[in-house]
Structure 1
Protein backbone atom coordinates (compact mmCIF):
# COMPACT_ATOMS: atom_id res chain seq x y z
CA UNK A 1 0.00 0.00 0.00
CA UNK A 2 1.51 3.35 -1.00
CA UNK A 3 2.04 6.07 1.58
CA UNK A 4 -0.69 8.40 0.24
CA UNK A 5 -3.29 5.62 0.58
CA UNK A 6 -2.13 4.99 4.16
CA UNK A 7 -2.11 8.72 5.01
CA UNK A 8 -5.65 9.11 3.62
CA UNK A 9 -6.85 6.78 6.40
CA UNK A 10 -5.73 9.35 8.99
CA UNK A 11 -5.91 12.73 7.18
CA UNK A 12 -8.63 14.50 5.22
CA UNK A 13 -8.16 12.67 1.85
CA UNK A 14 -7.42 15.89 -0.10
CA UNK A 15 -4.49 16.58 2.24
CA UNK A 16 -2.78 13.19 1.90
CA UNK A 17 -0.97 13.71 -1.48
CA UNK A 18 0.79 16.89 -0.31
CA UNK A 19 1.88 15.35 2.99
CA UNK A 20 3.21 12.38 1.00
CA UNK A 21 5.25 14.77 -1.17
CA UNK A 22 6.63 16.52 1.92
CA UNK A 23 7.79 13.18 3.35
CA UNK A 24 9.74 12.53 0.13
CA UNK A 25 10.98 16.10 -0.37
CA UNK A 26 12.33 16.48 3.17
CA UNK A 27 13.58 12.85 3.27
CA UNK A 28 11.68 12.43 6.51
CA UNK A 29 10.92 9.25 8.42
CA UNK A 30 7.19 9.61 9.17
CA UNK A 31 5.72 7.34 11.81
CA UNK A 32 2.10 6.90 12.87
CA UNK A 33 2.50 6.36 16.59
CA UNK A 34 0.56 4.94 19.51
CA UNK A 35 -1.31 7.38 21.72
CA UNK A 36 0.99 9.43 23.96
CA UNK A 37 -1.02 11.15 26.63
CA UNK A 38 1.30 14.15 26.89
CA UNK A 39 1.64 15.05 23.19
CA UNK A 40 -0.05 14.66 19.82
CA UNK A 41 3.13 14.60 17.73
CA UNK A 42 6.88 14.90 17.82
CA UNK A 43 9.74 16.14 15.64
CA UNK A 44 13.35 14.96 15.99
CA UNK A 45 16.16 16.72 14.16
CA UNK A 46 18.92 14.77 12.35
CA UNK A 47 21.24 13.16 14.89
CA UNK A 48 23.87 10.40 14.92
CA UNK A 49 23.31 9.42 11.30
CA UNK A 50 19.52 9.49 11.51
CA UNK A 51 17.58 11.97 9.39
CA UNK A 52 14.46 14.00 10.17
CA UNK A 53 11.86 12.03 12.12
CA UNK A 54 8.22 12.93 12.72
CA UNK A 55 5.63 10.91 14.61
CA UNK A 56 1.91 11.64 15.02
CA UNK A 57 -0.56 9.82 17.27
CA UNK A 58 -2.74 7.36 15.34
CA UNK A 59 -5.97 8.13 17.22
CA UNK A 60 -6.36 11.83 16.37
CA UNK A 61 -9.34 12.88 14.28
CA UNK A 62 -8.38 13.80 10.67
CA UNK A 63 -8.26 17.58 11.30
CA UNK A 64 -6.19 17.23 14.48
CA UNK A 65 -3.90 14.76 12.66
CA UNK A 66 -3.35 17.30 9.86
CA UNK A 67 -2.76 20.28 12.18
CA UNK A 68 -0.27 18.21 14.20
CA UNK A 69 1.47 16.99 11.04
CA UNK A 70 1.87 20.52 9.66
CA UNK A 71 3.01 21.70 13.12
CA UNK A 72 5.82 19.11 13.10
CA UNK A 73 6.82 19.73 9.47
CA UNK A 74 7.09 23.44 10.31
CA UNK A 75 9.63 22.44 13.00
CA UNK A 76 11.54 20.43 10.38
CA UNK A 77 11.53 23.30 7.87
CA UNK A 78 12.61 25.78 10.56
CA UNK A 79 15.46 23.48 11.62
CA UNK A 80 16.65 23.23 8.00
CA UNK A 81 16.71 27.02 7.75
CA UNK A 82 18.06 27.99 11.19
CA UNK A 83 19.31 24.81 12.94
CA UNK A 84 19.29 25.47 16.71
CA UNK A 85 19.24 29.27 16.43
CA UNK A 86 15.43 29.54 16.25
CA UNK A 87 13.16 29.17 19.30
CA UNK A 88 10.92 26.06 19.17
CA UNK A 89 7.71 28.07 18.64
CA UNK A 90 9.25 31.42 17.80
CA UNK A 91 8.65 33.78 14.89
CA UNK A 92 10.48 31.59 12.36
CA UNK A 93 8.42 28.52 13.23
CA UNK A 94 5.18 30.50 13.28
CA UNK A 95 5.89 31.94 9.82
CA UNK A 96 6.64 28.48 8.43
CA UNK A 97 3.53 27.00 10.05
CA UNK A 98 1.43 29.75 8.47
CA UNK A 99 2.98 29.21 5.00
CA UNK A 100 2.72 25.43 5.18
CA UNK A 101 -0.91 25.59 6.31
CA UNK A 102 -1.91 27.79 3.35
CA UNK A 103 -2.33 25.00 0.72
CA UNK A 104 -4.82 23.23 3.01
CA UNK A 105 -6.78 26.47 3.46
CA UNK A 106 -6.89 26.81 -0.33
CA UNK A 107 -8.18 23.23 -0.67
CA UNK A 108 -10.75 24.02 2.05
CA UNK A 109 -10.06 20.79 3.92
CA UNK A 110 -10.96 22.30 7.32
CA UNK A 111 -14.45 23.07 8.66
CA UNK A 112 -14.96 26.85 9.10
CA UNK A 113 -14.64 26.77 12.90
CA UNK A 114 -11.31 24.92 12.78
CA UNK A 115 -9.96 27.23 10.07
CA UNK A 116 -10.95 30.26 12.18
CA UNK A 117 -9.28 28.81 15.28
CA UNK A 118 -6.05 28.11 13.34
CA UNK A 119 -6.09 31.63 11.87
CA UNK A 120 -6.62 33.20 15.29
CA UNK A 121 -3.87 31.06 16.76
CA UNK A 122 -1.42 32.10 14.05
CA UNK A 123 -2.24 35.77 14.55
CA UNK A 124 -1.71 35.57 18.30
CA UNK A 125 1.98 35.85 19.17
CA UNK A 126 1.21 35.07 22.82
CA UNK A 127 0.17 31.54 21.91
CA UNK A 128 3.47 29.70 22.13
CA UNK A 129 2.40 26.30 20.78
CA UNK A 130 -0.51 24.10 19.76
CA UNK A 131 -1.53 23.98 23.40
CA UNK A 132 -3.72 26.95 22.39
CA UNK A 133 -7.01 26.04 24.10
CA UNK A 134 -9.35 27.58 21.50
CA UNK A 135 -7.71 25.57 18.73
CA UNK A 136 -7.66 22.44 20.88
CA UNK A 137 -11.37 22.75 21.72
CA UNK A 138 -12.38 23.32 18.09
CA UNK A 139 -10.42 20.25 16.98
CA UNK A 140 -11.77 18.12 19.79
CA UNK A 141 -15.37 18.65 18.64
CA UNK A 142 -14.61 16.29 15.75
CA UNK A 143 -13.42 13.43 17.94
CA UNK A 144 -15.53 10.28 18.10
CA UNK A 145 -17.45 10.35 21.40
CA UNK A 146 -15.84 8.40 24.24
CA UNK A 147 -18.05 7.14 27.03
CA UNK A 148 -17.12 8.28 30.54
CA UNK A 149 -14.20 10.41 29.24
CA UNK A 150 -14.53 14.14 29.89
CA UNK A 151 -12.27 17.16 30.16
CA UNK A 152 -11.51 18.56 33.60
CA UNK A 153 -13.22 21.89 32.81
CA UNK A 154 -16.54 20.08 32.17
CA UNK A 155 -16.63 18.39 35.57
CA UNK A 156 -18.53 19.92 38.48
CA UNK A 157 -16.57 21.17 41.49
CA UNK A 158 -15.64 18.36 43.92
CA UNK A 159 -16.17 15.67 41.25
CA UNK A 160 -13.92 12.63 41.41
CA UNK A 161 -12.01 11.51 38.33
CA UNK A 162 -9.43 8.90 37.40
CA UNK A 163 -6.33 8.98 35.19
CA UNK A 164 -5.15 6.15 32.94
CA UNK A 165 -2.58 5.16 35.58
CA UNK A 166 -5.40 4.56 38.08
CA UNK A 167 -4.81 7.57 40.34
CA UNK A 168 -7.98 9.27 41.59
CA UNK A 169 -8.39 13.03 42.08
CA UNK A 170 -10.98 15.51 43.30
CA UNK A 171 -11.52 18.69 41.31
CA UNK A 172 -11.15 21.93 43.25
CA UNK A 173 -11.19 25.62 42.26
CA UNK A 174 -9.60 27.16 39.18
CA UNK A 175 -6.27 28.97 39.68
CA UNK A 176 -5.64 31.31 36.74
CA UNK A 177 -5.53 28.92 33.76
CA UNK A 178 -5.45 25.54 35.51
CA UNK A 179 -7.59 23.63 37.98
CA UNK A 180 -6.35 22.66 41.40
CA UNK A 181 -7.01 18.96 42.00
CA UNK A 182 -6.28 16.82 45.06
CA UNK A 183 -4.98 13.28 44.70
CA UNK A 184 -7.17 11.23 47.03
CA UNK A 185 -4.55 8.73 48.27
CA UNK A 186 -1.74 11.21 49.02
CA UNK A 187 -3.65 14.52 49.54
CA UNK A 188 -1.11 16.15 47.21
CA UNK A 189 -2.26 19.05 45.06
CA UNK A 190 -1.78 18.97 41.27
CA UNK A 191 -2.65 21.52 38.60
CA UNK A 192 -4.56 20.23 35.57
CA UNK A 193 -5.11 21.77 32.16
CA UNK A 194 -8.80 22.53 31.54
CA UNK A 195 -8.74 20.20 28.52
CA UNK A 196 -7.01 17.24 30.20
CA UNK A 197 -9.03 14.10 29.41
CA UNK A 198 -10.05 12.10 32.46
CA UNK A 199 -12.44 9.31 33.36
CA UNK A 200 -15.35 10.32 35.56
CA UNK A 201 -15.79 8.27 38.71
CA UNK A 202 -19.36 7.24 39.57
CA UNK A 203 -20.76 8.90 42.67
CA UNK A 204 -20.80 6.68 45.74
Structure 2
Protein backbone atom coordinates (compact mmCIF):
# COMPACT_ATOMS: atom_id res chain seq x y z
CA UNK A 1 0.00 0.00 0.00
CA UNK A 2 1.38 3.40 -0.98
CA UNK A 3 0.91 6.11 1.62
CA UNK A 4 0.72 9.69 0.40
CA UNK A 5 2.91 12.06 2.35
CA UNK A 6 1.62 15.62 2.53
CA UNK A 7 3.90 18.41 3.65
CA UNK A 8 2.55 20.72 6.32
CA UNK A 9 2.68 24.03 4.45
CA UNK A 10 2.61 26.08 7.64
CA UNK A 11 5.67 24.31 9.06
CA UNK A 12 7.55 24.58 5.77
CA UNK A 13 6.71 28.28 5.36
CA UNK A 14 7.76 28.99 8.95
CA UNK A 15 11.29 27.98 7.96
CA UNK A 16 11.47 30.96 5.61
CA UNK A 17 9.19 33.70 6.96
CA UNK A 18 8.06 34.81 10.45
CA UNK A 19 6.14 31.93 12.05
CA UNK A 20 3.13 34.14 12.86
CA UNK A 21 2.69 34.89 9.16
CA UNK A 22 2.86 31.28 7.94
CA UNK A 23 -0.82 30.29 8.53
CA UNK A 24 -2.20 33.17 6.45
CA UNK A 25 0.24 32.64 3.58
CA UNK A 26 -0.69 28.94 3.63
CA UNK A 27 -4.38 29.87 3.32
CA UNK A 28 -3.61 32.21 0.43
CA UNK A 29 -1.86 29.39 -1.43
CA UNK A 30 -4.99 27.24 -1.11
CA UNK A 31 -7.52 30.04 -1.70
CA UNK A 32 -5.87 31.30 -4.89
CA UNK A 33 -4.98 27.76 -6.04
CA UNK A 34 -1.38 28.84 -6.49
CA UNK A 35 1.77 26.85 -7.07
CA UNK A 36 4.21 28.31 -4.54
CA UNK A 37 7.90 27.55 -4.94
CA UNK A 38 10.90 28.39 -2.78
CA UNK A 39 13.49 29.14 -5.46
CA UNK A 40 17.25 29.33 -5.80
CA UNK A 41 18.89 32.72 -5.48
CA UNK A 42 18.33 35.07 -8.41
CA UNK A 43 20.47 38.18 -8.41
CA UNK A 44 18.04 40.17 -10.53
CA UNK A 45 14.93 39.67 -8.37
CA UNK A 46 13.68 38.45 -5.00
CA UNK A 47 10.53 36.80 -6.33
CA UNK A 48 8.36 36.24 -9.36
CA UNK A 49 4.69 35.87 -10.31
CA UNK A 50 3.45 34.11 -13.45
CA UNK A 51 -0.20 34.35 -14.44
CA UNK A 52 -2.11 31.32 -15.78
CA UNK A 53 -0.87 30.35 -19.23
CA UNK A 54 -0.41 27.22 -21.33
CA UNK A 55 -2.45 25.01 -19.06
CA UNK A 56 -0.62 26.12 -15.91
CA UNK A 57 -2.22 28.09 -13.11
CA UNK A 58 -0.92 30.86 -10.88
CA UNK A 59 2.76 30.45 -10.00
CA UNK A 60 4.80 32.30 -7.41
CA UNK A 61 8.46 31.77 -6.57
CA UNK A 62 10.51 33.45 -3.83
CA UNK A 63 14.27 33.22 -3.30
CA UNK A 64 15.18 30.79 -0.52
CA UNK A 65 18.03 32.88 0.92
CA UNK A 66 16.04 35.97 1.92
CA UNK A 67 15.77 36.86 5.59
CA UNK A 68 12.28 36.21 7.07
CA UNK A 69 11.07 39.81 6.70
CA UNK A 70 12.30 40.11 3.11
CA UNK A 71 10.76 36.72 2.29
CA UNK A 72 7.38 37.84 3.67
CA UNK A 73 7.39 41.23 1.93
CA UNK A 74 8.32 39.56 -1.36
CA UNK A 75 5.61 36.92 -0.90
CA UNK A 76 2.92 39.53 -0.27
CA UNK A 77 4.27 41.56 -3.22
CA UNK A 78 3.78 38.59 -5.55
CA UNK A 79 0.36 37.63 -4.16
CA UNK A 80 -0.72 41.23 -4.79
CA UNK A 81 0.25 40.68 -8.44
CA UNK A 82 -1.86 37.50 -8.49
CA UNK A 83 -4.86 39.26 -6.92
CA UNK A 84 -4.53 42.17 -9.36
CA UNK A 85 -4.35 39.75 -12.29
CA UNK A 86 -7.56 38.05 -11.16
CA UNK A 87 -9.29 41.43 -11.05
CA UNK A 88 -7.88 43.15 -14.13
CA UNK A 89 -5.80 40.74 -16.26
CA UNK A 90 -3.53 42.75 -18.64
CA UNK A 91 -5.64 45.90 -18.44
CA UNK A 92 -3.51 47.64 -15.79
CA UNK A 93 0.18 48.38 -15.22
CA UNK A 94 2.14 45.77 -13.22
CA UNK A 95 2.91 48.20 -10.37
CA UNK A 96 0.07 50.63 -10.96
CA UNK A 97 -2.47 52.00 -8.50
CA UNK A 98 -4.51 48.78 -8.56
CA UNK A 99 -1.52 46.68 -7.53
CA UNK A 100 -0.48 49.22 -4.88
CA UNK A 101 -3.97 49.14 -3.36
CA UNK A 102 -3.95 45.34 -3.24
CA UNK A 103 -0.43 45.21 -1.81
CA UNK A 104 -1.38 47.68 0.92
CA UNK A 105 -4.58 45.78 1.74
CA UNK A 106 -2.85 42.38 1.81
CA UNK A 107 -0.04 43.73 4.00
CA UNK A 108 -2.48 45.02 6.63
CA UNK A 109 -2.96 41.72 8.55
CA UNK A 110 0.80 41.51 9.10
CA UNK A 111 0.89 45.11 10.32
CA UNK A 112 -1.89 44.32 12.78
CA UNK A 113 0.11 41.39 14.16
CA UNK A 114 3.20 43.62 14.58
CA UNK A 115 5.29 41.10 12.67
CA UNK A 116 7.65 43.66 11.17
CA UNK A 117 10.25 45.67 13.10
CA UNK A 118 9.34 49.40 13.24
CA UNK A 119 11.96 50.43 10.65
CA UNK A 120 10.77 47.85 8.11
CA UNK A 121 7.11 48.77 8.66
CA UNK A 122 7.95 52.45 8.19
CA UNK A 123 9.83 51.68 4.96
CA UNK A 124 6.92 49.63 3.60
CA UNK A 125 4.41 52.39 4.38
CA UNK A 126 6.67 54.99 2.76
CA UNK A 127 7.09 52.77 -0.28
CA UNK A 128 3.34 52.32 -0.70
CA UNK A 129 2.70 56.04 -0.31
CA UNK A 130 5.33 56.98 -2.89
CA UNK A 131 3.97 56.81 -6.46
CA UNK A 132 7.48 57.15 -7.89
CA UNK A 133 8.57 53.85 -6.34
CA UNK A 134 7.62 51.20 -8.87
CA UNK A 135 8.71 47.97 -7.19
CA UNK A 136 10.75 46.34 -4.43
CA UNK A 137 13.80 47.95 -5.99
CA UNK A 138 12.91 50.94 -3.79
CA UNK A 139 16.27 51.58 -2.09
CA UNK A 140 14.88 52.67 1.27
CA UNK A 141 12.85 49.45 1.59
CA UNK A 142 15.73 47.38 0.23
CA UNK A 143 18.16 48.78 2.80
CA UNK A 144 15.72 48.24 5.68
CA UNK A 145 15.13 44.63 4.72
CA UNK A 146 18.80 43.87 4.06
CA UNK A 147 19.79 45.21 7.49
CA UNK A 148 18.30 41.99 8.91
CA UNK A 149 20.44 39.71 6.75
CA UNK A 150 23.02 37.53 8.45
CA UNK A 151 26.50 39.10 8.11
CA UNK A 152 28.39 38.03 4.99
CA UNK A 153 32.16 37.84 5.15
CA UNK A 154 33.97 40.10 2.66
CA UNK A 155 30.71 41.38 1.12
CA UNK A 156 30.12 45.13 0.87
CA UNK A 157 27.69 47.32 -1.07
CA UNK A 158 28.94 49.62 -3.83
CA UNK A 159 27.71 52.76 -2.04
CA UNK A 160 30.12 52.05 0.84
CA UNK A 161 33.20 51.96 -1.40
CA UNK A 162 35.56 54.88 -1.91
CA UNK A 163 36.25 56.32 -5.36
CA UNK A 164 39.00 54.27 -7.03
CA UNK A 165 38.21 51.12 -5.07
CA UNK A 166 38.60 47.85 -6.96
CA UNK A 167 35.97 45.14 -6.47
CA UNK A 168 34.72 41.94 -8.01
CA UNK A 169 31.25 40.52 -8.54
CA UNK A 170 29.97 36.95 -8.26
CA UNK A 171 31.06 35.92 -11.76
CA UNK A 172 34.66 36.96 -11.01
CA UNK A 173 34.80 40.12 -13.13
CA UNK A 174 36.79 42.98 -11.61
CA UNK A 175 35.79 46.66 -11.65
CA UNK A 176 37.07 50.02 -10.48
CA UNK A 177 34.61 52.50 -8.99
CA UNK A 178 34.86 55.85 -10.77
CA UNK A 179 32.13 58.20 -9.56
CA UNK A 180 28.58 58.49 -8.35
CA UNK A 181 26.04 59.66 -10.89
CA UNK A 182 22.46 60.62 -10.08
CA UNK A 183 21.18 57.22 -8.95
CA UNK A 184 23.96 54.78 -9.82
CA UNK A 185 27.73 54.43 -9.73
CA UNK A 186 29.91 54.60 -12.80
CA UNK A 187 32.39 51.71 -12.78
CA UNK A 188 34.96 50.49 -15.30
CA UNK A 189 35.67 46.81 -15.90
CA UNK A 190 39.43 46.46 -15.43
CA UNK A 191 40.02 43.93 -18.22
CA UNK A 192 37.87 45.44 -20.99
CA UNK A 193 37.77 49.13 -19.93
CA UNK A 194 34.01 49.06 -20.56
CA UNK A 195 31.81 51.30 -18.44
CA UNK A 196 28.99 49.84 -16.33
CA UNK A 197 26.45 51.44 -14.00
CA UNK A 198 25.95 49.76 -10.61
CA UNK A 199 23.12 50.10 -8.11
CA UNK A 200 24.22 51.62 -4.78
CA UNK A 201 23.12 48.44 -2.99
CA UNK A 202 24.81 45.94 -5.32
CA UNK A 203 26.78 43.48 -3.19
CA UNK A 204 30.43 43.09 -4.20
CA UNK A 205 33.74 41.94 -2.78
CA UNK A 206 36.58 44.40 -2.27
CA UNK A 207 39.90 43.29 -3.78
CA UNK A 208 43.44 44.59 -3.77
CA UNK A 209 44.32 46.97 -6.60
State the TM-score, normalizing by the size of structure 2.
Answer: 0.96
Match of 1:108 among 114, 134, 141: 114
Cα deviation, residue 86, structure 1: 1.0
SS of the equivalent of 2:55 reads: coil
Aligned length: 203
What value does the CA root-mean-square deviation take over the aligned residues? 0.6
Match of 1:62 among 48, 61, 68: 68
Cα deviation, residue 73, structure 1: 0.3
Which runs of no fewer than 5 residues in structure 2 stay unpaired? 1-6
User: Is 2:14 the partner of 1:2?
Assistant: no
Cα deviation, residue 157, structure 1: 1.0
SS of the equivalent of 1:5 reads: helix
Equivalent residue, structure 2, for 1:168 = 174
Q: How does 1:1-204 map to 2 (within 5 A)?
A: 1-201=7-207, 203-204=208-209
The 2-side partners of 1:105 and 1:172 are apart by 41
The 2-side partners of 1:3 and 1:151 are apart by 35
What are the Cα deviations for residues 131-178 of structure 1, in whole angstroms up to 9, with x where unaligned? Answer: 100000000110000001111001111111111111100011111000
State the TM-score, normalizing by the size of structure 1.
Answer: 0.98
Which runs of no fewer than 5 residues in structure 1 stay unpaired? none
The 2-side partners of 1:6 and 1:199 are apart by 33
SS of the equivalent of 1:54 reads: strand
What are the Cα deviations for residues 30-71 of structure 1, in whole angstroms up to 9, with x where unaligned? Answer: 000000011000000000000000000000000000000000
The 2-side partners of 1:22 and 1:72 are apart by 11
